[in-house]
Amino acid sequence: MANGASIIIGLVVVVIACVAGWFFAPKGETQTIWRSSLILSFASCYLMWAITFLAQWHPLIVPRRGGLREFAVDE
């Protein structure tokens, strides 16, 4: 779970969601608004998540912390 392949899996999921958003958008006057908003939202949310995931994929620095108690360390 949640390794490098997640990026691709996430992309596939989002593309499917976008396609679904395109076809299942409510008909009528607001269809364009639904389609555009759904697809843009999916795309931006994916972008944000993917960037965050990528930034932590191969970390160049590691967390350093003082003042931890014993139980918090072992958790």
Partner 1 sequence: MAPAQDTMFRSADMSLVQLYVAKEIGREVVNALGELGQVQFRDLNSDVTAFQRTFTQEIRRLDNVERQLRYFHTQMEKAGINLRKIDLDVDTLAAPSASEIDELSDRSQSLEQRVSSLNDSYETLKKREVELIEWRCVLREAGQFFDRAHGNVEEIRASTEDDDAPLLQDIEQHATGQNGDAERSFSVMNIGFVAGVIPRDRVAAFERILWRTLRGNLYMNQSEIQEELIDPTNNEPIKKNVFLIFAHGKELIAKIRKISESLGADLYSVDENSDLRRDQIHEVNTRLGDLGSVLKNTKTTLDAELTQIAQSLAAWMVLVKKEKAAYQTLNLFSYDQARKTLIAEAWCPTNSLPAIKATLHDVNNQAGLSVPSIINEIRTNKTPPTYQKTNRFTEGFQTIINAYGTAKYQEVNPGLPTIVTFPFLFAVMFGDFGHGFLMVVAAVAMIYWEKKLKKVRDELFVMAFYGRYIMLMMGIFSMYTGLIYNDVFSKSLSLFPSAWKWVKPEGWVEGQTLVAQLNPDTPGYRYPFGLDWMWHGTENDLLFSNSYKMKLSILMGWAHMTYSLCLSYINARHFKTPIDIWGNFVPGMIFFQSIFGYLVFTIVYKWVVDWNAIGESPPGLLNMLIYMFLSPGTIEEPLYRGQGPIQVFLVLLAVIQVPVLLFLKPLYLRWEHNRARAKGYRGLGETSRVSALDGDDDDSNTLDGRNSLASDGEGVAMITQDIGGDEEHEEFEFSEVMIHQVIHTIEFCLNCVSHTASYLRLWALSLAHQQLSVVLWTMTLANGLSTTGPLGVFMIVVTFYMWFFLTIAVLVVMEGTSAMLHSLRLHWVEAMSKHFMGDGIPFEPFSFKQMLEEDEAAADIS
Residues that bind partner 1 (CB under 8 A): 1-4, 6, 29-33, 36-37, 40-41, 44-45, 47-49, 51-70, 73
Give the closest residue to 21 by CA, choosing from 3, 9, 39: 39
- 3's enclosing H/E stretch is none
Beta carbon of residue 19, minimum distance to partner 1 (angstroms, whole number): 17
Going by the DSSP 8-state scheme, the letter that residue 58 receives in this structure is S
Beta carbon of residue 16, minimum distance to partner 1 (angstroms, whole number): 19
Beta carbon of residue 8, minimum distance to partner 1 (angstroms, whole number): 12
Between CA 58 and CA 65, with CA 63 as vertex, the angle to 5 degrees is 175
